[in-house]
């Protein structure tokens, strides 16, 4: 199976500190992958590179059937190519309503002059309502998203991610601030999504990762330490040493 | 525009109604058309104020909605004024030259254009029309330039600045530098726009025999129409998804990028659009002022614009209008020497000198204590105040349940 995203040999330094060190990674078009690793391992920086926020010093990032070079594209182009991202800290537009947040994310033309004359049709409203229902915000459509609780903001951001209909979802620590029930709901959703698209989940919580029941990549000091099933990596001596042992 | 737009935005309708009422009232009280209660110079002041309200809307779009603190929009306002001023001067001078030559030998075209050039450029020791005045005799061309010249300047400037992702304070400084450079350039005698003399006699409209009493009312109408259309356009732009994206860029532009919107294109679009609105406002303002010179484009003017919008309340169109109208009218009153001096025992406060201090102080106070500005008063009237939710939040964020809410 050809990979959807192919990252090879990337490195990046901040003021001489190597945050990512010759990292390679690839994921198929309908695959769920968990990325774990201690704090500062470079998980967020890895997502920054794939989404165009940070330029690597070296290496390649290729995307899709045509192997497009993502390093030549800016953040907006990469997002339009079909890579969606959920941030570690929930980032929604707090001054705007849940509907407005979802409308903005909804897959549609993104050029200014097209957005200017774009007005939602009944189908768009229905889609927004469906998305809100899916993430448990059906009664909050008209509320300002700044009023939502931390967990609800996480959900809204997941809803916005779904609205974009990306082919690859990068999800950074989705379970933070969620209750146990919400975590279970999130795992179910992510597993379901990965049936039709690629999903990369960064998470600390081992129970959460276990429920995902997928291939796991362990990062440490900016490179891949181990990869395989959760049982395989947790049995790895190196992994135990740097991560689980502590 | 889609039908139902006004129905969905009742505040637009209210604004347009108020504007129409205001214009009608001034007309009925004017010297030319009514009770002769409002003097012609007052009509001009009010007409100019409407133009300032229009540029304040532009500033609100670019700063209040998109978060780009441009301190250069008065440059576009001034440029618009210069473009229309060029036609006004040439056409008016031609009338004068032809009138004084009447009865004498008929002039050739060359002699006529030389005479016009000498009349206009005598003050800067030249007798030739500079190349940029090539189309100055044609009203349609100069009207096109009113939009085109500031629009192009804004587009080029914005393209360079936004493409290299200059934001925040650095962008503000850059826009100040642009205004400063432009006004310094225009101050030079060989800039082709009469240096510090600027353009004058703009209050006379060539081809119209009407007196100032009538002209001032006509310009008031034109300014009111422009303001009304500008308000409509601005509410159309900010009401839909485009407005959402604008506010998103203001609050978190990186997040907007990850949704797939090219933030740079949006900023460029808004910056250029608002520059054009500012230019149109300027083109209506200066014929009422009668004179334009480079001092009008000094950086301080653009800073005042930001102060108006802040005092009025940014992020709301009527806030910008309220701020511009209120501050500029009060400022006219204070600086016009009509405000009575305030005697404080040993020191007498002369408002002409102290007005700026008062303005600065109000700016600081509004920023600190009333971020919604004057438009917050509308909220008070409409009972729209957000309820005070005191107590300690129970969760990690602002939105979570508060102590006393949980008790209930
Ligand atoms: N923009 C930056 N400037 C400097 N250092 C950075 C920057 N981004 C990340 N780092 C550093 O790179 C390392 C990896 O960070 P990060 O990717 O956030 O780790 P993780 O998400 O795995 O906890 C950390 O040591 C962090 O301090
Ligand atoms: Mg992280």
A84 strand-pairing partners: A169
Count of other CB atoms within 10 angstroms of residue B125: 8
Question: Higher pLDDT residue, A110 or B113?
Answer: A110
Closest by Cβ to B251, choosing from A95, A110, A152: A95
A240/A245 Cα distance (integer angstroms): 5
The minimum-distance atom of ligand 1 relative to the CA of A39 is: 23
CB spacing of A104 vs B241 below 8 angstroms = yes
Average pLDDT across each block of 10 residues of chain B; the chain has 408 residues. List them in order: 67 94 95 88 95 97 96 96 96 90 78 89 86 92 97 97 93 95 92 91 88 93 98 94 96 95 97 98 96 92 92 92 92 79 78 83 85 82 56 43 41
Ligand 1 neighbours by CB, cut-off 6 Å: A 14, 19, 37, 39-45
B257/A52 Cα distance (integer angstroms): 10
User: Which of B263, B397, B398, B405 is most worth mutating to test chain A (most A CB atoms within 10 A of its CB)?
Assistant: B397
The class level of CATH for A5-244 reads alpha beta
The residue whose CA has the least distance to atom 17 of ligand 1 is A42
Touching check for A153 and chain B: CB below 8 Å?
A: yes
Which whole-number Å values give the CA distances from A156 to A113, B222, B274, in the listed order? 27, 47, 33
Which whole-number Å values give the CA distances from B117 to A167, B103, B104, B148, B278, in the listed order? 67, 21, 20, 25, 29
User: pLDDT tens across A21-68, in order?
Assistant: 999 999 999 999 999 988 889 999 999 999 999 999 999 999 999 999
Pairing of strands B347-349, A198-202: unpaired
Q: How far, in Å, from the CA of B52 to the mean position of ligand 1? A: 48
B155/B164 Cα distance (integer angstroms): 14
CA atoms within 13 A on the CB side of A133: 6
Domain boundaries, chain B: 5-298
| pTM for this prediction | 0.91
User: pLDDT tens across B206-219, in order?
Assistant: 888 888 999 999 99
Q: Judge contact between B112 and B98, C-beta under 8 A.
A: yes
For chain A, what is the mean pLDDT?
Answer: 92
Average pLDDT for A154-176:
92
Torsion angle defined by CA atoms of residues B200, B205, B206 and B210, in that order, rounded to the nearest 10 degrees: -140
ipTM for the assembly: 0.92
Q: Judge contact between A69 and A60, C-beta under 8 A.
A: yes
User: Which pLDDT score is estimated for B190?
Assistant: 85
């Amino acid at each position: 199976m050809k990979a959807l995203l192919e990252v090879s040999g990337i490195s990046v330094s901040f003021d001489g500190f190597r945050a990512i060190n010759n990292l390679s990674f690839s994921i198929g078009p309908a695959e769920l992958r968990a990325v774990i690793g201690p704090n500062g391992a470079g998980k967020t920086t890895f997502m920054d590179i794939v989404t165009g926020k940070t330029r690597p010093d070296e290496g390649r990032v290729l995307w899709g059937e045509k192997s497009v070079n993502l390093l030549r594209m800016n953040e907006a182009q990469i997002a339009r190519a079909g890579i969606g991202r959920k941030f570690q800290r929930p980032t929604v537009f707090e001054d705007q309503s849940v509907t407005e947040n979802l409308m903005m994310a909804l897959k549609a033309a993104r050029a200014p002059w097209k957005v200017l004359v774009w007005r939602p049709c009944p189908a768009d409203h229905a889609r927004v309502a469906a998305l809100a229902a899916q993430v448990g915000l059906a009664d909050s459509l008209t509320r300002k998203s700044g009023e939502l609780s931390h967990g609800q903001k996480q959900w809204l951001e997941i809803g916005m991610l779904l609205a974009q209909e990306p082919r690859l979802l990068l999800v950074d620590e989705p379970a933070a601030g969620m209750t146990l029930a919400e975590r279970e709901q999130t795992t179910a959703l992510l597993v379901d999504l990965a049936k039709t698209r690629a999903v990369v989940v960064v998470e600390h919580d081992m129970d959460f990762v276990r429920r995902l029941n997928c291939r796991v990549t362990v990062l440490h000091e900016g490179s891949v330490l181990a990869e395989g099933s959760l049982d395989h990596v947790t049995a790895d001596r190196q992994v135990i040493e740097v991560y689980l042992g502590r | 525009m889609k039908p139902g737009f006004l129905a969905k935005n009742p505040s637009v309708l209210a604004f347009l109604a108020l504007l129409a009422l205001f214009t009608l009232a001034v007309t009925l009280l004017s010297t030319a058309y009514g009770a002769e209660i409002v003097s012609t110079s007052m009509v001009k002041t009010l007409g100019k104020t409407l133009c300032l309200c229009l540029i304040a809307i532009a500033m609100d779009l670019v700063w209040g909605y998109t978060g780009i603190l441009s301190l250069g929009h008065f440059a576009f306002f001034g440029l618009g004024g210069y473009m229309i001023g060029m036609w006004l001067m040439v056409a008016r001078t031609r009338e004068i030259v032809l009138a004084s030559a009447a009865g004498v030998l008929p002039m050739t075209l060359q002699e006529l254009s030389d005479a016009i050039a000498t009349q206009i450029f005598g003050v800067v020791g030249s007798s030739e029309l500079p190349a940029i005045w090539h189309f100055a005799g044609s009203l349609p061309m100069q009207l096109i330039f009113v939009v085109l010249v500031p629009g192009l300047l804004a587009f080029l400037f914005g393209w360079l600045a936004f493409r290299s992702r200059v934001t925040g304070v650095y962008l503000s400084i850059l826009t100040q530098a642009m205004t400063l450079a432009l006004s310094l350039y225009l101050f030079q005698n060989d800039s082709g726009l009469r240096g510090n003399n600027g353009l004058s006699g703009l209050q006379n409209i060539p081809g119209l025999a009407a007196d100032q009493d009538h002209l001032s009312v006509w310009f008031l109408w034109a300014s009111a129409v422009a303001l009304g259309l500008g308000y409509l356009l601005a509410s159309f732009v900010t009401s839909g998804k485009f407005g959402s994206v604008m506010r998103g860029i203001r609050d978190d532009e990186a997040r907007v990028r990850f949704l797939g919107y090219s933030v740079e294109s949006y900023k460029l679009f808004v910056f250029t659009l608002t520059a054009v609105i500012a230019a149109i406002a300027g083109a209506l303002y200066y014929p009422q002022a009668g004179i334009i010179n480079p001092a009008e484009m000094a950086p301080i003017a653009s800073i005042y614009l930001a102060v108006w919008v802040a005092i009025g309340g940014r992020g709301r169109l009527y806030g910008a209008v309220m701020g511009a109208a209120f501050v500029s009218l009060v400022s006219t009153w204070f600086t016009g020497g009509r405000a009575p001096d305030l005697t404080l025992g040993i020191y007498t406060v002369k408002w002409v000198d102290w007005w700026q201090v008062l303005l600065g102080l109000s700016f600081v106070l509004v920023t600190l204590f009333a971020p919604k500005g004057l438009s917050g008063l509308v909220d008070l009237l409409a009972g729209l105040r957000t309820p005070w939710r005191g107590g300690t939040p129970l969760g990690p964020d602002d939105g979570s349940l508060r102590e006393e809410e949980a008790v209930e």
